[in-house]
């Protein structure tokens, strides 16, 4: 009798775990990232985009990273400096040019957004002097 109740509980518990796991794997919404560097997409009237790989190349820290091994203790510190510099430049250009939002190109895609890669690269060089 005791074992019969235990067996029923284990079966019920197993079914519950299976249902929870299945629910966690299913996502009804689209699975894409929204890389917003500055501002908010919602209600944005003036929008711009950058391409991270393009603008990060302008950073002196990217050049330093190319010389470092990923196991070097300075690697992560240098990468953090580069990322902060690029993000600061994006934010500053967004503010100066009065954009409501700056996103990664096509992530999300916004109609009529402007390419500000060149402005951001110049700002990176200016901030890193």
How far apart CA 63 and CA 56 sit, in angstroms, is 10
What is the reported pLDDT for 121?
98
pLDDT attached to residue 46 = 92
For residue 89, tell me if it sits in a domain.
Answer: yes
pLDDT confidence of residue 22 = 47
What CATH number is attached to the domain comprising 104? 3.30.910
User: Is 100 within the bounds of a domain?
Assistant: yes
Residue 40 is predicted with a pLDDT of 85
Q: Based on the structure, what is the number of domains in the chain?
A: 1
Is residue 16 a part of any domain in this protein? no
Instruction: Check residue 9 and give its pLDDT.
Output: 60
* Pick from 61, 47, 57: nearest CA to 104: 47
Is 60 within the bounds of a domain?
A: yes
The answer to whether residue 17 is domain-embedded is no
Within a domain: residue 46? yes
Supply the pLDDT for residue 28: 41
* Per-residue model confidence (pLDDT) at position 3: 55
| Residue 87 lies in domain | 31-127
DSSP 11-40: HHHHHHHHHHHHHHH---S------EEEE-
* pLDDT value of residue 74: 96
The helix/strand/coil state of 56 is helix
- The parts of the chain modelled with pLDDT lower than 50 are 19-33
Does 26 reside within a domain? no
| d(C-alpha 120, C-alpha 94), whole Å | 9
Count Cα atoms within 13 angstroms, Cβ side, for 63: 5
């Amino acid at each position: 009798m005791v074992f019969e109740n235990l067996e029923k509980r284990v079966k019920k518990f197993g079914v519950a775990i299976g249902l929870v796991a299945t629910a966690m794997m299913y996502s009804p919404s689209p699975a894409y990232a929204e890389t917003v560097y500055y501002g908010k997409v919602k209600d944005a009237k003036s929008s711009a985009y950058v391409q991270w790989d393009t603008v990060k190349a302008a950073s002196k820290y990217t050049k330093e990273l190319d010389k470092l091994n990923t196991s070097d203790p300075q690697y992560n510190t240098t990468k953090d400096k580069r990322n902060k510099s690029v993000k600061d430049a994006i934010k500053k250009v967004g503010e100066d040019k009065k954009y409501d939002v700056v996103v990664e190109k096509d992530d999300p895609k916004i109609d009529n957004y402007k390419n500000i890669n060149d402005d951001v690269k110049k700002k990176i060089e200016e901030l890193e002097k």
